[in-house]
A and B are shown apart, each in its own frame.
Chain A
Amino acid sequence: MQFTLFFQQLVNGLAIGSVYAIFALGYTLIFSILGIINFAHGAVFTLGAYFTYTLIGAKFGFNGLLAQSQLPFGLPFPLAVLGGAALAGLVGVIIERLAFRPLRARGADPLLTLVSSLGVAVALVNFIQYLVGAEAYSYPSSAFGGLPPSVNFGTPESPLIVRTVQIIIFVVSMLILVVLTYLINSTRTGKALRAVAEDATTSSLLGINTDRLIWITFFLSGFVGGIAGTLVGLSVTITGPYFGIAFGLKGLAVIVLGGLGSIPGAVLGGLVIGVAESLVPASAIGYKEAVAFAILFVILLVRPQGLLGRTLIQKV
Chain B
Amino acid sequence: MAEFITTYGFLIVSMVFAAMLALSLYLPLMTGQLSLASPGFYALGGYIAAVMSTKVFPPTPQGEIFPLVYLLIEMLVAAVASALLAVLIGIPALRLRGIYLALATIAFVEVVRVLSLNLEITGKAIGIFGIPQPFLNKFEYMWIAAPMLILSTWFVYRLERSRVGRAFAALREDELAATAMGVNPTYNKVLSFTMGAVLAGVVGAVSAHFLNTWNARQGTFDAAILYLAFVIIGGSRTYLGPVLGGLLLTALPEVLRALAGVEFLPAFVAQFLVDGRLIIYGLLIALATIFFPQGLITPTMLKRLARRGT
Interface SS of B by simple majority: helix
Per the bound structure, the CA–CA distance linking A123 and B103 in Å amounts to 23
Q: Which segment of A2-10, A15-23, A248-256 sits at the interface?
A: A248-256
Q: Does A1 contact B (CB under 8 A)?
A: no
Is there contact, CB below 8 Å, between A290 and B293?
A: no
Query: Which of A111, A120, A124 makes the CB contact (< 8 A) with B34?
Result: A111
Q: Which stretch in A69-77, A137-145, A295-303 binds the other chain?
A: A295-303
Residue of A117, A123, A289 with most chain B CB atoms under a 10 A cut-off: A123
Query: Which residues in window 254-301 of B have CB below 8 A to A?
Result: 275-276, 278-290, 293
**In the assembled complex, which residues on chain B have CB atoms less than 8 Å from the CB atom of A294?**
107, 111
Q: Is A212 part of the binding interface, using a Cβ–Cβ cutoff of 8 Å?
A: no
Q: Is the CB of A286 within 8 A of B118?
A: yes
Give 1 or 0 for each of B163-196: 1 = CB within 8 Å of chain A CB.
0000000000000100000000000000000000
Q: Are B96 and A116 in contact (CB under 8 A)?
A: no
How many angstroms between the C-alpha atoms of A37 and B36 in the bound complex?
Answer: 15
Using A120-B282, A123-B282, A249-B110 as known contacts, say yes or no to A103 and B293 having CB atoms under 8 A apart: yes
Q: How large is the interface on B (under 10, 10 to 19, 20 to 34, 35 or more residues)?
A: 35 or more
CA distance A245 to B225 in the complex (A): 12
The residue on A at minimum CB distance from B226 is A118
B30 at interface, CB cutoff 8 A: no
Q: A122 with B278: in contact, given A286-B114, A293-B107 (CB under 8 Å)?
A: yes
Known: A123-B282, A293-B107. A316 touches B176 (CB 8 A): yes
Query: Which of A123, A125, A256, A316 contacts B286 (CB under 8 A)?
Result: A123
A67 contacts chain B at the CB level, 8 A cutoff: no
A49 nearest CB across to chain B (Å): 19
Given contacts A116-B286, A127-B279, A316-B176, whether A296 and B104 have CB atoms under 8 Å apart is yes
Q: Is the CB of B281 within 8 A of A115?
A: no
Nearest-Cβ distance from residue A63 to partner chain B, whole angstroms: 10
User: When chains A and B are docked, how far (Å) is the Cα of A296 from the Cα of B36?
Assistant: 15
Establish whether residues A99 and B110, one from each chain, have CB atoms under 8 Å apart when the complex forms. no
A24 to chain B, nearest CB (A): 13
A window 105-153: CB within 8 A of B:
106, 108-127, 129-130
Closest chain-B Cβ to A162's Cβ sits at a distance in Å of 28
A297 touches B285 (CB 8 A): no
Contact of B111 among A39, A126, A293 (CB under 8 A): A293
| CB contact under 8 A between A119 and B283, given known A114-B228, A304-B96, A304-B100 | yes
Q: Are A119 and B284 in contact (CB under 8 A)?
A: yes
Find chain A residues with CB under 8 A from B276 CB: 126-127, 130
Q: Which B residues are CB-close (under 8 A) to A256? A: 100, 103
B100: chain A residues within 8 A (beta carbon): 256, 300, 304
Given contacts A103-B289, A286-B118, A289-B114, contact A119 B275 (CB under 8 A): no
**Chain A residues closer than 8 Å to B228, beta-carbon distance:** 111, 114-115, 118
Residue of B nearest to A99 (CB): B286
B286/A120 in contact, CB under 8 A:
yes
A112-B289 contact in complex given A118-B229, A252-B103, C-beta closer than 8 Å: yes
CB closest residue in chain A, given B110: A293
CA distance A171 to B106 in the complex (A): 31
Interface contacts (Cβ under 8 Å), in number, total: 133
Q: When the two chains form their complex, are residues B96 and A119 in contact, meaning their CB atoms are under 8 A apart? A: no
Whether A102 and B283, one on each chain, are in contact in the complex, defined by CB atoms closer than 8 angstroms, is no
Interface of A is mostly: helix
- Give Cα A142–Cα B283 distance, bound, in whole angstroms: 38
List of A residues within 8 angstroms of B103 by Cβ? 252-253, 256, 296, 300
* Contact call A115/B232, Cβ cutoff below 8 A: yes
Which residues of chain A are within 8 angstroms of B96 by Cβ–Cβ distance?
300-301, 304
Q: Which residue of the partner chain B has the closest CB to A297?
A: B107
Contact in complex: B111, A119 (CB < 8 Å)? no
A103 CA to B282 CA in the complex, in Å?
17
- The listed residue (B95, B115, B278) touching A290 by CB distance below 8 A is B115
How far, in angstroms, from A304 to B118 measured CA to CA in the complex?
29
Give the distance to chain B from A246, nearest Cβ to Cβ, in Å.
9
Once the chains bind, are A253 and B107 in contact (CB under 8 Å)?
Answer: yes
Closest CB in chain B relative to A39 CB, distance in Å: 7
Query: A282-294, CB under 8 A of B: which get 1 and which 0?
Result: 0000110110111
Closest Cβ of chain A to B179, distance in Å, is 11
Interface residues of B (CB under 8 A from A): 34, 92-93, 95-96, 99-100, 103-104, 106-108, 110-111, 114-115, 117-118, 124, 176, 221-222, 225, 228-229, 232-233, 236, 275-276, 278-290, 293
Enumerate the 4 nearest inter-chain pairs by beta-carbon distance, A residue then B residue, closest first: A123-B282, A119-B285, A122-B282, A119-B286
Given contacts A289-B110, A290-B114, A301-B104, 19 further A-B pairs with CB under 8 A are A115-B225, A115-B228, A115-B232, A119-B282, A122-B281, A123-B279, A126-B278, A253-B107, A286-B118, A287-B118, A289-B114, A290-B110, A290-B111, A293-B106, A294-B107, A294-B111, A297-B93, A297-B104, A300-B93
Interface set of A (CB-CB < 8 Å, partner B): 37, 39, 98-99, 102-103, 106, 108-127, 129-130, 245, 249, 252-253, 256, 260, 286-287, 289-290, 292-294, 296-297, 300-301, 304, 316
25 A-B contact pairs sorted by A residue (CB < 8 Å)? A98-B286, A111-B232, A111-B236, A112-B293, A115-B228, A115-B232, A115-B233, A115-B285, A116-B289, A119-B287, A122-B282, A123-B280, A130-B275, A249-B106, A253-B107, A256-B103, A260-B99, A286-B117, A286-B118, A289-B117, A290-B115, A293-B108, A297-B104, A301-B95, A301-B96
